[in-house]
Chain A
Amino acid sequence: MNAGERLTDANFPAHPEKATLEGKNKFLGFWLFLGGETVLFATLFGTYLGLRNMHLDGPSGEELFSLPLVFLATMLLLTSSLTSVYAVLSLKQNKVRSLQGWFIVTLLLGLGFLGLEIYEFIHYVHEGHTFTSSAFGSAFYTLVGFHGGHVLFGILWISTLLARNWNRGITLANAPKYYLFALYWHFVDVVWVFIFTVVYLMGKVG
């Protein structure tokens, strides 16, 4: 059967994301990629943890971070992770409209998160905490910025994916793509859980 053909309820496989060899390969390859990403972020975390007290004359994390704002950002991202899992449930039930709806909610929440992060960065720069002000500044913006870049890339990714497949239904060709995006989005949330804990919460206790 043609991988680009709209699936019907009658021929819908239990795991549309892994029903073809291509899908299986993408699924596994992406998981392995996430394993590599774990090391990438760990290196950034390590750098940050090594340098987080090196704020020199600039403000320290304890003085800077506003927890309620970050808490709100965390909730946005956590909820977007839930909505993307709902989208995957819709994927498994061949409900394309509901899949699109949940992914759009995910996308909007992601945009909200990004907006908060940009607002936060601008605020910090005004406080004298910049990329070049100290080793702490460089490490902070690099770690959090890499995560923000991942969020931005995810937003571009899901927008393209939704637009391209808007009128197509779920097919064996696009099911793995939706599924991979959801995995990516969860991973981005996982990283954020650690940024929230290690950078912001631990930043408050010095």
Chain B
Amino acid sequence: MATHESHKKRSGLMDWLTTVDHKKIGILYLLAGGFFFLIGGLEAILMRIQLMEPDSKIFTGELYNQLLTMHGTTMIFLAAMPIIFGFMNAILPLQIGARDVAFPFVNAVGFWLFFFGGLLLNLSWFLGGAPEAGWTAYAPLSTVAEDTGVDFYVLGLQIAGAGTLAGGINFLVTVINMRAPGMTFMRMPLFTWASFVTSGLILFAFPALTVGIFLLMFERIFDANFFNADMGGNVLIWEHIFWIFGHPEVYILILPAFGIISEIVSTFSSKRLFGYSAMVFATVLIGFLGFMVWVHHMFTVGLGPVANSIFAVATMAIAIPTGVKIFNWIFTMWGGQIRFTTAMLFAVGFIPTFVMGGVTGVMLSVPAADYQYHDSYFVVAHFHYVIVGGLILGLFAGLYYWYPRMFNRVLNETLGKWNFWLFFIGFHLTFFPQHWLGLMGMPRRVYTYMSGQDLDGANFVSTIGAILMGAGTIVLLINIVISASSKYATTKDPWDGRTLEWAMPVPTPEYNFAQTPLVRGLDALYVEKTAGNGEMTPAEPVGEIHMPNGSILPFILSFGLFIAGFGFIYANWTVVIVGLGVVLVTMFLRSVIDDHGYHIHKEEVEADIKGGRA
């Protein structure tokens, strides 16, 4: 067996390229996702600049369509999901008292697949133009587009999606198999629960997207006829497949935000979460119902009153578990000792904002009314209220909350409050007027409008709001830069936390817990605090710790797919064979080279404990 001596310590860039440590992969996800978030945000602001004045001619026609498509695609697949995965990686194993995720190697593969998929998609800007068929890529718009934009969409998302699927399975197994002694399912923190359900949704929703994208790819590159009506195809196949994936995707995004908000509201109200088991049940129920409602995106297709009614009722039903959650957050705050930190501000701002998005969601679920709202700015306002007002506020909250655990430093609270107010006010200025615009008949996805239709004012306000949101994000960046130059935080538990991720010293040791903790109740750390221990009781004596070795193979494997992606886009089969060859060789090497990891010796762990490092 490999011992510690034979274990190569890598440093610098090589360490980050080869890491299989979930904490480092979490940071990588957060950085890459944050980078794409900035790109997607920039695209949004450019669109708003175009729409600021009527008859504007700054970004018109095709270019506007590209901005629109890339904004949606980037934000959903390359910003929101990776940032969620960042938190899941960095926090989830700590919350359940695990030393690592179930498949550290696969975890690294998942990250690099996402990274190269995102890179491929964004390189389209420089290689003949970005995709322009909308993030939904409806056929036949996406099949007849002649330039390579949609090909980049297809290959980029296929590669990134494979990484997401791998990540989903990884977290499911981690939660099921790797919980510390005493950490029963009904003692898991809500963020872990939400991540668990989200991973389940990924597992069952992403294969549909995989197939959909394959069909689109075959149609474009190999002249297949799934969507070509002249050859017996049917465009509704794409719509169904896309939304069978796409609606669960919405819950994949929002559930982790629900989890983050639950953690933060409970911590900063200094109270146990109100109605814990109801919260868990609501999370699972939302996940289940998420698969039963996709047709509400297709009400105007003409599937008939029966189908529309069934899916309308199913959609409305989701409001019930969501309402349970809203009330439980409010009751958690009720009578609590609330501390309005930045994280808590974002969480509190989240609640009414998300409710507004939910209410317009119920409005849209009425098919007769949806015929009016469909493809108007009302829909744009609705889904930005749930995705930005819900998910993004939740992610900001999570960032401020977990930053000390991930980066060993606390973000500045004053700047944090500026960040919150600028972003929050900017958000409502941007999207609230869009409800009116939609009701007045302004269609979505259109690059301009004429003056004299009473659309000027609301559009102008909307653009001002977008700029404020940008300003809020810049404040966050400044905050991060300032914190990077500051010293490590001295406390491991800056928020008086209740869950296990606050039980370790900063920086978190590479093996997380020197001794696996014994969990004795919900809010495991809080239980020990009230029992007067202040720290976790170990469930095992100090001993050798088994660790996985780092590997460059995930990087190379993903890079191989990246190369093959270019081959497919330009129909260059030599490049495809080279790229896929690299993939097969790395898979072969992985299975042929024995890698049983290495052990950290008991003495080293003991030294770490004595030195306060574990």
Contacts and interface: CB of A to CB of B under 8 A. Distances in A.
Interface of A: 2-4, 21, 24-25, 28-29, 32-33, 35-37, 39-40, 43-44, 46-47, 50-51, 54-56, 131-132, 134-139, 142, 160-161, 164, 173
B225 A43 contact: no
B177 interface: yes
Given A50-B234, A51-B232, A135-B231, 10 more contacts: A25-B103, A28-B173, A39-B205, A54-B232, A134-B225, A135-B226, A135-B234, A137-B225, A138-B225, A161-B591
A40 B210 contact: yes
A43 B211 contact: yes
A55 B232 contact: yes
Given A4-B594, A43-B212, A24 B177 contact: yes
Interface in B555-614: 588, 591-592, 594, 596
A164 B225 CA distance: 42
Contact of A132 (B205, B207, B208, B224): B224
B225 A132 contact: yes
Given A37-B207, A54-B233, A138 B169 contact: no
B222 A132 contact: yes
B176 interface: yes
Contact of A135 (B176, B225, B240, B592): B225
A206 to B, nearest CB: 16
B207 A51 contact: no
Nearest to B214: A142
Contacts of A46: 240-241
Nearest to A161: B591
Interface of B: 1, 102-103, 165, 169-170, 172-173, 176-178, 203-208, 210-212, 214-215, 218-219, 222-226, 228, 231-234, 237, 240-241, 244, 588, 591-592, 594, 596
A36 B207 contact: yes
B233 A142 contact: no
Contacts of B240: 46
Contacts of A28: 102, 172-173, 176-177
A172 to B, nearest CB: 10
Contacts of B223: 131-132
Contact of A51 (B177, B204, B233): B233
A34 to B, nearest CB: 10
A54 B234 CA distance: 10
B352 to A, nearest CB: 36
Nearest to A139: B226
Contacts, number: 115
B204 A36 contact: yes
A139 B224 CA distance: 8
B592 A56 contact: no
B208 A4 contact: no
Nearest to A134: B232
Q: Main secondary structure on chain B at its contact with chain A?
A: helix
A131 B102 CA distance: 41
Contact of B224 (A39, A131, A160): A131
Contact of A35 (B1, B203, B219): B203
Contacts of A32: 169, 172-173, 203
A56 B231 contact: yes
30 contacts: A24-B177, A25-B103, A29-B169, A29-B172, A32-B172, A36-B165, A36-B203, A36-B206, A40-B210, A43-B207, A43-B212, A46-B241, A47-B226, A51-B232, A54-B231, A54-B232, A54-B233, A55-B232, A131-B224, A134-B225, A134-B232, A135-B232, A137-B225, A138-B218, A138-B225, A138-B233, A142-B218, A142-B224, A160-B588, A160-B591
Contacts of A24: 177
Contacts of B165: 36
A25 B177 CA distance: 7
The 10 closest A-B pairs by CB, nearest first: A54-B232, A135-B232, A40-B207, A138-B224, A43-B211, A25-B102, A39-B207, A135-B233, A29-B173, A135-B225
User: Which of B1, B224, B240, B596 has the most chain A CB atoms inside 10 A of its CB?
Assistant: B224
B204 A138 contact: no
Contacts of B178: 21, 25
A44 B584 CA distance: 25
A190 B575 CA distance: 35
Contact of A47 (B176, B203, B237): B237
A136 B169 contact: no
A131 B1 CA distance: 52
Contacts of A25: 102-103, 173, 177-178
A24 B404 CA distance: 33
B232 A56 contact: yes
B211 A40 contact: yes
Nearest to A28: B173
Contacts of B594: 4, 173
Nearest to B291: A39
A2 B1 contact: yes
A51 B203 contact: no
Given A29-B173, A135-B228, A135-B231, A164 B591 contact: yes
B237 A51 contact: yes
Contacts of A164: 591-592
Nearest to B165: A36
A142 B227 CA distance: 14
B291 to A, nearest CB: 10
